[in-house]
Amino acid sequence: MLGKIRRPVLIVRGGRSESLLPDVAERTRAGLADAMLVEIPDCSHFPFLERPRELTVLLSGFLA
């Protein structure tokens, strides 16, 4: 199903996430036609709670 997505995708992974493991995040990125994978270090699965400023910067750059 990932191969059918034809829009840019930003995958944000917290460096300490136990829900989105690095290999799964990379396989997901590789399965998408136009995806960027970014890891926020020292963050769990909730960057919007733990690192909202960094996430906002990432989203702003992605959407620009």
What's the pLDDT score for residue 2?
A: 87
How confident is the model at residue 48, as a pLDDT? 96
The pTM of the full predicted model, rounded to 2 decimals, is 0.90
Encode pLDDT of 6-64 as tens digits. 999 999 999 999 999 999 999 999 999 999 999 999 999 999 999 999 999 999 999 99
Q: CA-CA distance, 3 to 49, in Å (whole number)?
A: 30
The total of other beta-carbon atoms located within 10 Å of residue 13's CB is 22
What's the token pair of residue 26? Answer: 């990379």
Of 46 and 3, the one with more pLDDT: 46
DSSP letter for each residue of 5-62: --S-EEEEEETT-SSS-HHHHHHHHHHSSSEEEEEETT--S-HHHH-HHHHHHHHHHH
> Domain coordinates of the chain in residue numbers?
2-63
Query: Can you tell me which residue has the tokens 């300490």?
Result: 16
